Structure 1
Amino acid sequence: MFAYDIYEPLNRKTNDVFPTVFALHGIGGDELDLPGILEPIMDRFVIVAIRGGLQKGPGYAYYKPVVDGEPSESSITYAANDIHNFIEKISRQYATIDRKNMYLLGFEQGGIVAITEFVRNGGMYRGGIFLSAKLPAFLEKSPKNLLLKNKRIFVGHGVDDAILPVEEGERITRFFKTMSDNVTMRTYYVQHNVNAAEEDEIIDWLTETEQVDK
């Protein structure tokens, strides 16, 4: 079981359910990193911020990073499977979580794990938000998930990112466009971080998504 923080709308009524965002931080971060981005919607969304299970400096990671090349498929898949099992458990534990209306949000390493989970089990999510991340090479060879066709996907990346260049965001976008009809990519004049403009667009995207079909 991962350590986590959950934020439920304060003025909820009995039996209320809410769209829910599961947030995965980057290397060396923790469960406090991403909820601030989502503060404007905490009155109408449940936010579950998940701490990685491995200690990394003063923070945490979801799998052990490597110095050169890509982490193994098994290490990323193992982390994604753990996240999947955690989400399945938590979504049943909290009555406020609308299990038909869940989102994945991941930054950097958390984005890599979130992408892997989304590709394999995206049918259980309404959409995915992948920030400053990278597409694992092994996913490009995996079967296409036909359940992603109507899922909404947001890719955000800094044009000056020296850790994961913006081309990685473009690669993620191209990959998901082979499966989904609704993929949005936005770039920002930042390095390996999220700025106010990106935060605003994420909130707008989630708000717009919630208005679709309603």
Structure 2
Amino acid sequence: MSESPTVLWSRPESERSGTPLLVILHGYGADEADLFSLAGQLPAEFTVASVRGPLQAGPGYSWFPLRNDLSYSVASVRTAATALEEWIDSVRANHSSVSLLGFSQGMCMATTLLRHRPADYAAVVGLSGFVVDAEGDAFFDDSAVAALKPEVFWGRDQADPVIPETAIESTNVWMRANVQLTKVLYTGIWHGINAQEISHVGEFLQYKVLAAK
């Protein structure tokens, strides 16, 4: 990767060594500050790194073009994931484990990274998002994911007005075939996050990552 992404860290570099890392990935049109406040509501053992997407999108940024954009392709998802993976690899050795938390398009990114190298991640949290259609691209190694059955938390509102029902259905099928799924439905959060959901995410990370050492 030619340049490192913009990252907000929850603690200074001198205090990160040996801590579990949680990488937060924002949604379309947002930025690294959007979800950073979640860091204070999650288990204090984690070092949180909130990463900015590479593409300008309205007032914020995105990881790849929207599916209905003519410039969208699986290759654009793969390119973004590869660059993000390179950055994670550059900091991985400093941490006891790496977990991912993605909201909306950030969930697409988190699950794409998991599908490329599932053994690299202790757990993945996906909020109000979906899993991209791999369209046969070899970058997505779903057989390796299925063999490993990694821990995934998927939270959403059935009334989410943003994510298409077809994407939800295909994500349901993929999750049930490939991962150890913790799925929770919320009412009234629409395409968002509430305190109850973050409390559940914290419990999931505590149990699946911190207690699993």
TM above 0.5: yes
Over the residues paired in the alignment, what is the CA RMSD in angstroms?
Answer: 2.7
What is the rounded CA distance, in whole Å, between the counterparts of 1:40 and 1:115 in structure 2? 23
TM-score w.r.t. the length of structure 2 is 0.84
Could you say which residue in structure 2 is the equivalent of 1:185? 183
More strand as a share of residues: 1
What is the rounded CA distance, in whole Å, between the counterparts of 1:28 and 1:55 in structure 2? 8
Range that drifts further, 72-81 or 35-44 = 35-44
Range that drifts further, 132-141 or 44-53 = 132-141
Q: Does 1:126 align with 2:115?
A: no
What is the rounded CA distance, in whole Å, between the counterparts of 1:139 and 1:37 in structure 2? 33
Could you say which residue in structure 1 is the equivalent of 2:36? 35
Secondary structure of the corresponding residue to residue 90 of structure 1 = helix
Secondary structure of the corresponding residue to residue 44 of structure 1 = coil
Secondary structure of the corresponding residue to residue 78 of structure 1 = helix
What is the rounded CA distance, in whole Å, between the counterparts of 1:70 and 1:81 in structure 2? 18
Tell me the CA shift for residue 153 of structure 1: 0.5
Could you say which residue in structure 2 is the equivalent of 1:116? 112
What is the rounded CA distance, in whole Å, between the counterparts of 2:68 and 2:145 in structure 1? 35
Tell me the CA shift for residue 82 of structure 1: 0.9
- Map 1:1-214 to 2 at 5 A: 1-8=4-11, 17-41=18-42, 43-67=44-68, 71-92=72-93, 95=94, 97-98=95-96, 101-138=97-134, 143-146=141-144, 149-165=148-164, 168-169=167-168, 171-180=170-179, 182-189=180-187, 190-214=189-213
Secondary structure of the corresponding residue to residue 142 of structure 2 = coil
What is the rounded CA distance, in whole Å, between the counterparts of 1:17 and 1:11 in structure 2? 11
**Structure 1 regions of 5+ residues with no counterpart?**
none
Aligned in 2, Cα 1:127/1:70: closer, same or farther, shift over 3 Å?
Answer: farther
Tell me the CA shift for residue 70 of structure 1: 9.5
Which residue identity is paired with 1:27? Answer: Y
Aligned in 2, Cα 1:88/1:155: closer, same or farther, shift over 3 Å?
Answer: same
Contact kept? 2:25, 2:52, Cα under 8 Å? yes
TM-score w.r.t. the length of structure 1 is 0.84
Secondary structure of the corresponding residue to residue 131 of structure 2 = coil
Which residue identity is paired with 1:125? Answer: Y
- Please give the per-residue CA displacement for 1:2-60, whole angstroms capped at 9, x wherever unaligned: 11111138995xx9511111111001111112222231336311101000111112111
Aligned in 2, Cα 1:60/1:211: closer, same or farther, shift over 3 Å?
Answer: closer
Secondary structure of the corresponding residue to residue 18 of structure 1 = coil
- Please give the per-residue CA displacement for 1:102-147, whole angstroms capped at 9, x wherever unaligned: 1011111111111111111111111111111122122677553335
Range that drifts further, 57-66 or 112-121 = 57-66
- Please give the per-residue CA displacement for 1:42-99, whole angstroms capped at 9, x wherever unaligned: 631110100011111211111122536893111111111111111111224xx3x22x
Runs of 4+ displaced beyond 4 Å: 9-12, 139-143
Contact kept? 1:7, 1:42, Cα under 8 Å? no
